[in-house]
Amino acid sequence: MLNEERVVLMTKMASYEANEGRKNLDIGSYFRNDYIGWQVLKSIISATIAFVVVFAMYIFYDFEIFMTDIYKMDLLEFAKNVLFWYLATVGIYAVIAYAVYTVRYSRAKKSLRTYYMNLHRLAAMYKKSSPDSRQ
Amino acid sequence: MTTLLLIKQMLLTIYGKYEVYITPLLKFVLAFITLFLLNSRLGYMEALNRMTLVLIVALMCSFMPINFIVVMGALFSILHLYSFSMECAAVIGAGFLLLFLLYLRFSPKDTLVVVLLPICFLMRIPYVIPISMGLIGGPASAVSVACGVIVYYLLHYVTKNETVIASMAEEETAAKFKFIIDGLLKNKEMVVVIAAFAITVIIVYLLRRLSVDYAWTIAMIAGAVVNIMVLLVGDLIFDTNQSLLSIILGTIVSFLIVLVLQFFVFYVDYSRTEKVQFEDDEYYYYVKAVPKVTVTRPEKKVKQINSKRR
C-alpha cells in the first residue's frame, strides 16, 4: 500500500539530495579540520596567484623606471618589502577564508543532521510497515 | 489586482510545469544578450562577431551551469581586447583573474550579478541590481555588486578611450600599460558608484528584515533614495559629472522593476497579520505571522448539456 507520509518524506529528501544537499553531502564527507584546511590551502594558492598578478602589474606599470632603478636599489630591502606584503595579503585572505569555511561547514553539518534524522524516520517507517507488506 | 495575482499564479504554474525547458531557455537568452552586447560594444575580433558562433556558444551555456555564462563572457571580452591591444587584454584579464581568485570563488550563488550588472548599466538601469540584491540576497551581496561595477567600468574605460589607446604607437607598450592602469585605478566615478551600490545593498537588506509592516516597500524606497543621495554627494565631492536626470530617471524605472520583483517574491497581506504568543519547555515565542496573498484559480466547470446516449 502507498504510504503517503513516506512518499512525502522521500520526495523532500530526494529534492534535498538533488539541490542544496549535494554540496552539503560533499562537505559532510570530510572531517571538520580536513575540510577547512583543504579550503584554506586552496585559498592560499589563489591568494598567491593573485599576489603574483598584482606584483607583475606593479612592475610593468613603471617598467622603465624599475629597470633603471634596479641597479641602484637595495635588493634585499625590496625583497623584504615584497615578502611582507605577500605574507600580509595571504594571511588576511586565509583568515577570511577560514571564517567563511568554518561557518559553511557548521551550516552544512546542521542541515545534514536534519537529513539524517529524516533518514532514520524513513527507516523506522519501513520497519513499521514491513510486517504488513510481507503478509 | 486579482487578475494580476491570477496571472502570477498561472506563470508560477507554467514555470513549475515546464521548468526543465524554461530554465535552459532563460540561460540561453541571458547568454545570447551578454555575448551580443559584448560583440556590439567591443567587437574587435572579427571571428567572434559571427552570429552563428554566438548562437552556438549561447546554446552551450543553456545546458551548462549558470556560471559558465560568466566564464564565456570573460573569455569573449579578453579575446576581443586581445585583437584590439595586447596591453588592454593583459590588464583586463588580470582584473578578471583577481575578481575570480579573490571573491567569486566564495560566492557561486551571486556570480550572475557580475553579468547582469553590466547589462543593466547599458540599459541605464543599474540601480535595479543593488536594490534587488538587498531584497533577495544578504549583506555579502554588496561585494558581488561591487565586482559587477568593476567589470563594467573596466570594459567601459576601454571603449571610451578607444581612440586614445589606438593612437598610441605599437612600441609604446609601457606607456599604454600605464595609461590603462591609471585610468582604471583613478576612476573616481567607479569608486563613487561602488560605494553607493554597496551602501544601498546593505541598507535595503537591513530594512527589509525589520519586523515592521511594509518592511520591503520601506526598504526599497529607502534604498532608492540613499542610492541617489550617495551618487549626488559623490558627484559633488569628486566631480564625477554624472547626469542628475539619468540618475533619477534610472532609479525610478529601477524602482518600478523591483516592485514587480516584490510582487513575485514577497507579496503579503499586512491587514491579516496575526500576532501569537506561546511557550514550550525552553522558550517563549512571540510570533508575527503575515499571510501571503494568494488566489485560487477559478475552476472551469464543464456542464454537459447533451445527455449521453445509452
B178 has a chain A CB within 8 A of its CB: yes
B175 has a chain A CB within 8 A of its CB: no
Work out the burial of residue B157: count CB atoms within 10 Å of its CB; fewer than 13 is exposed, 13-18 middle, 19 or more buried: buried
* pLDDT score for B291: 83
Judging contacts by C-beta atoms under 8 Å, the chain A residues touching residue B181 are: 57, 61
What cell was used for A112?
Answer: 545534514
Judging contacts by C-beta atoms under 8 Å, the chain A residues touching residue B98 are: 50, 53-54
How crowded is the C-beta side of A81, counted as CA atoms within 13 Å?
A: 7
What does the alpha-carbon distance between residue A25 and residue B203 come to, in Å, rounded to a whole number? 34
A79 has a chain B CB within 8 A of its CB: no
Q: Per residue in B124-154, pLDDT tens?
A: 889 999 999 999 888 888 988 998 999 899 8
Q: Per residue in B81-90, pLDDT tens?
A: 888 888 888 8
- Residues whose CB falls within 8 Å of the CB of residue B150, separated by 6 or more in sequence, listed in order: B95, B99, B190, B194
pTM: 0.81
Contact call for B174 and A43, based on CB within 8 A? no
Strands B284-289 and B274-279 come out as antiparallel
Interface of B with A in 263-282 (CB under 8 A): none
Is the pLDDT confidence value at B158 over 70?
yes
Measured on CA atoms in the order B66, B67, B70, B76, is the torsion positive or negative?
negative
- Residues whose CB falls within 8 Å of the CB of residue B63, separated by 6 or more in sequence, listed in order: B24, B27
Q: Per residue in B171-189, pLDDT tens?
A: 677 778 888 888 888 888 8
Disruptive mutation site among A19, A23, A55, A61 for chain B (greatest number of B CBs within 10 Å): A61
A34: left (phi over 0), alpha (psi -120 to 50) or beta: alpha
Count interface pairs A-B at CB distance under 8 A. 36
What cell was used for B62?
Answer: 543553456
B94 has a chain A CB within 8 A of its CB: yes
Which of helix, strand or coil describes residue B126?
Answer: coil
